[in-house]
Structure 1
Amino acid sequence: MPAFAANLTMLYTEMKFPDRFSAAAKDGFRGVEFLFPYDYPADEIALRLKDNGLRQALFNAPPGDWSGGERGIASLPGREDEFRRSIDLALTYAERLGNRRLHVMAGLCPDEAEKEARLALYTRNIAAAAAQARSMGVTIVLEAINTRDMPGYLVSRQEETAAVCRNIGADNVRIQFDFYHAQIMQGDLTRRLERLLPLTGHVQIAGVPERHEPDSGEIAYDSLYDLLDRSGYEGWVGCEYHPRATASEGLGWMAPWESRIAVRP
């Protein structure tokens, strides 16, 4: 049965980041994810996880100059050495935190004419990252991000990330299937998930269109949760949404699925 993990980048934002771990644990979560851990020593985060009985479900590899607008460097020509070093750093954190899923962002490609070459570079870099990660038991996950929230992102459709996974052919390269992004770009979530579940290594949820709690809007989440259960998916489901008020106040949507919070894959 899939288990919900609190995304500490988006949830509990009224608190400082180190305090969000205990807040998530008090609300019953047993897993957490977030974008980037690199502003904090790995040992400090590891202690927060241990003290609060939490598992690290996922985080992202360094994305380049995030504040300057970069959204990953895996497809950027001339950045191969920097990319390799970024994976080295991410795997150091992964080992310390007991993390087994690493999201590697592709980067922006505003010129459609460059897309084919960028996809080829992205594929080569991801293959190299997967080889680095294999001995540590870490799976690289790839996410298609919608063009409304992130214009120019290299991969915006689930089948694009699936194609990269298949072209690499490594068992530790998988899709990060984010229902929010997939609904905005494509819809038909049930059939698409059925087709791509064998390649899916992580799942994320949010309401559409506002990206609030997954309790209203366009997506019938109860049906998708049931599909995940029937499929035998045993990974985490990341709660990557912006609460309407505070995270704790908005967790009523989870009541029917409360037993899933405590499941620890």
Structure 2
Amino acid sequence: MMRISANLGFLFREHGLPDAIRAAKATGFDAVECHWPYEEDPAAIRAALAETGLAMLGLNTIRGHREGEVGLSALPGREADARAAIDQAIGYAQEIGCRNVHVMAGITDDAAAFDTFVGNLAHAARRAEEAGVDLLIEPLNRRDTPGYVLAHTDLAMTLIEAVGSDRLRIMFDCYHMQIMQGDLVSTIRALLPHIGHIQFAAVPDRTEPDAGEVDYGWLLPAIRDLGYEGWFGAEYRPERGDFAWLETFKARGI
């Protein structure tokens, strides 16, 4: 059976994060992940995780300090801000027992973006090694996030090779990658040793994953059959307000 995580950046938003964790457990999710939890008391999050027995799989570095920013780590001239955000995220992850930190790249067309991102990821890798957490980078589709530096898995692999750290892996979001690349099974097969987490949502609307052009009832077991042993993160914007898709997946043994 698949292990499915609730992304609390989108789900159970009517609750504060500790109660969202409890709601995810009551709904039948196997783990949780979040976006930007920094306003929450880490002790309250730890308590909710301990109470429910759920793992916190990931959190993001901050978007930035300026309107429209979507990460800092590939922005030339913003290295101090980027590294402060990385240190904040890794420190917070340690406090709550979170396994992964997603290092957000940002939006820029500066030719120095790649080298900047590599330098900041190298800093992140050193800090992650000290802290005992892992790092994720996530290609985002440019329909939703125009100008985002990292939009393709080829670039993600080039970054991983340039940094050269076992702590750094890809967060493969099937929603983003169906839009940007398609051919999901073949792509995941080729990248599998470098994938740290997989997410999913309906395409093209990013709603409940039992609709749209991707059949997750078939795809998630197919990914598991490739040898993927991690969680699948449900990162979608709820439209119906129910979790019938999760009940169906579990009833089918997915």
Q: Assess same fold via TM > 0.5.
A: yes
Flag the 1:245–1:220 CA change in 2: closer, same or farther, 3 A.
closer
User: Do 1:177 and 1:204's aligned partners in 2 also have CA atoms closer than 8 Å?
Assistant: yes
The aligned counterpart of 1:128 is 123
- Larger RCO, structures 1/2 (Cα 8 Å, 6+ apart): 1
Q: CA RMSD in A?
A: 2.0
Are 2:180 and 1:181 equivalent residues in the alignment?
no
- Closer, same or farther in 2 for the Cα pair 1:60/1:215, shift >3 Å? same
Query: Residue by residue, what CA displacement relative to the aligned partner does 1:139-173 show, whole Å, maximum 9, x if unpaired?
Result: 11000111111111011112211211122221111
Distance 1:215 1:194 in 2: 23
Note the residue ranges of structure 2 that are not aligned, 5 or more in a row: none
CA contact (8 A) 2:199 2:235 kept: yes
Runs of 4+ in 1 over 4 A off after TM superposition: none
Q: How many angstroms apart in 2 are the aligned matches of 1:2 and 1:159?
A: 27
Q: Write out aligned runs for 1:182-261 (5 A).
A: 182-246=177-241, 249=242, 251-258=243-250
Q: Give 1:74 deviation, angstroms.
A: 0.3
Q: 1:94 to 1:16 in 2, by over 3 A?
A: closer
Q: Percent identity?
A: 40
TM-score (norm 2): 0.93
Q: Distance in 1 between matches of 2:207 and 2:81?
A: 35
1:64 aligned counterpart, secondary structure: coil
Q: Which runs of 5+ in 1 are unaligned?
A: none
Q: Deviations over 1:78-99 (max 9, x none)?
A: 2222222222221221112111
Note the C-alpha offset of 1:179.
0.3
Aligned residue-pair number:
254
The one-letter amino acid paired with 1:133 is A
Deviation at 1:125, TM superposition (A): 0.8
AA aligned to 2:84 is R
Q: CA deviation at 1:122?
A: 0.4
Q: Per-residue deviation at 1:243?
A: 1.1
In structure 2, the partner of 1:61 is: 61
- Measured after TM superposition, the shift of residue 2 of structure 1 is 4.5
Cα offset, 1:32, TM superposition: 0.6
